[in-house]
Amino acid sequence: FEISAVGEAGPPGLIEVLVETPSSDSQTTEVGTPVAVPPAVVVRDSNEFIAPNVEVTFTVGASSGTIKATAGGSAVTTAAIMTDANGVARLHSWTLGNRGANTLEAHVTSDPSLTLTMNATGIAGPPANIAVFTEVPTSDNQTTVANTPVPVAPAVLVTDASELAVEAGDEI
């Protein structure tokens, strides 16, 4: 005589960033471009067994860009993804929206108390434009006697293709 049993995961009890190298959390990339590793989470039950076929909702924070659920999908700020057989829900991409801190929240759709926030840092791209820095008084079109300084030190503003200022210390 033979006894067999099949176990199934219980209801979701935990959501966490998928452990992988490099991590899909705490990435840095240029504003307006996707992070290198698409965000991914793993859902487990209260006994820490993987939980397949669980819907996870990803929501982009204020001014933190857009996400795509699939390769051909539209850029949106909220998307729902089902976990796979390994309990993993992964977006196709996250394109950052602002310089500095960007956030992406993921929560189990059926239990919003199971939530986490992923972070990324947006940086300016390579220099693409240079212009006279506009100030009052202006540093442009000054005259002075030879070998004496102009009244206002000359200044320029260097920006990337998205018109984000390239800061001192950024590679130029």
The predicted pLDDT at position 12 comes to 92
Q: Which residues contact 40 (CB under 8 A, 6 or more apart)?
A: 17, 18, 20, 24, 88, 89, 90, 91
The predicted pLDDT at position 152 comes to 84
Residue/partner pairs of 75-80 with CB below 8 Å, 24 or more apart: 80/55, 80/56, 80/109
- The pTM (predicted TM-score) of the whole model is 0.81
Q: Is the peptide bond before 137 cis (omega within 30 degrees of 0)?
A: yes
The predicted pLDDT at position 91 comes to 97
Q: What is the pLDDT of residues 25-36, one digit of tens each?
A: 999 999 999 999
